[in-house]
Amino acid sequence: NQVKDWFETAKTQEFMGIEMSYDSRTEKGHHRLETRKVWAVSVAKVGGVYKQEQWAGLQTIVIVERVRHLWNKTTHEVQFYLSSLPVDAQLNGRAIRQHWSIENQVHWSLDVTFNEDKSRIRSLNSPQNFALVRRLALNAVNQETTLQRSLRQKIKRAAMNNDYMMQILKCFCQA
């Protein structure tokens, strides 16, 4: 809330007298137009953050504003990030995009391989526990490279062939 309030005030004043880095990008793809505006500001300019000493190497606060135009609607969101990278909006923006790209790829793999989105597991800690087990299994299967098949085919083979399952586990334990 502290950073959000500071940002809203600074933005209305057009960052007058505040040293910051700014970058803006517009991308087209998947039937949408997305504009990302990135501001990077030194933590000192914001006046520090709550319990700042607990964030090792904290240098920068990054604000990302995304506007997505889809064929039937427009979405707007603002997200805040804490970063140990220098105050460089372009560098921080690329790091954030890369992080989410990896997250999206892993999610897609989990959904295609394990039908994770269709999971009916909902109670207590079970969803988090099964998500962890799925990620471990995905990493284990990815480590095994002798069989050139899809992830789903490798998992099916491991389910039906104990020797292959042990081979996957050995590769995973050696990594």
What is each CA distance from 50 to 2, 87, 99, 115, 138, in whole angstroms? 8, 19, 25, 40, 37
Largest CA distance in the chain: 67
Buried b (16+ CB within 10 A) or exposed e, 43-64: bebbeebeeeeeeeeeebbbbb
pLDDT above 70 as % of the chain:
97
pLDDT value at residue 76:
94
Angle between the 89-114 and 151-160 helix axes, to the nearest 10 degrees? Answer: 40
Of 20-29, 48-57, 65-74, least confident by mean pLDDT is 48-57
**Beta carbons of 60 and 42 less than 8 angstroms apart:** yes
Using the predicted structure, report yes or no on whether residue 175 has a pLDDT greater than 80: no
pLDDT, tens digit, 9 for 90 and up, residues 132-142: 888 888 888 88
Give dist(CA 68, CA 81) in Å, integer. 20
Task: Compare 49 and 11 and report the one with higher pLDDT.
Answer: 11
Assign 102 a pLDDT band (cuts: 50, 70, 90). Answer: low
Predicted local confidence at residue 104, as pLDDT? 67
Q: According to CATH, what is the number of the domain 1-115?
A: 2.20.130.10
Which is more confidently placed, 70 or 47?
Answer: 70
Residues comprising the chain, all counted: 175
Question: What is the distance between the alpha carbons of residues 95 and 82, in angstroms, rounded to a whole number?
Answer: 12
Identity of the highest mean pLDDT range in 44-58, 61-75, 97-111:
61-75
- Domain ranges across the chain: 1-115, 119-175
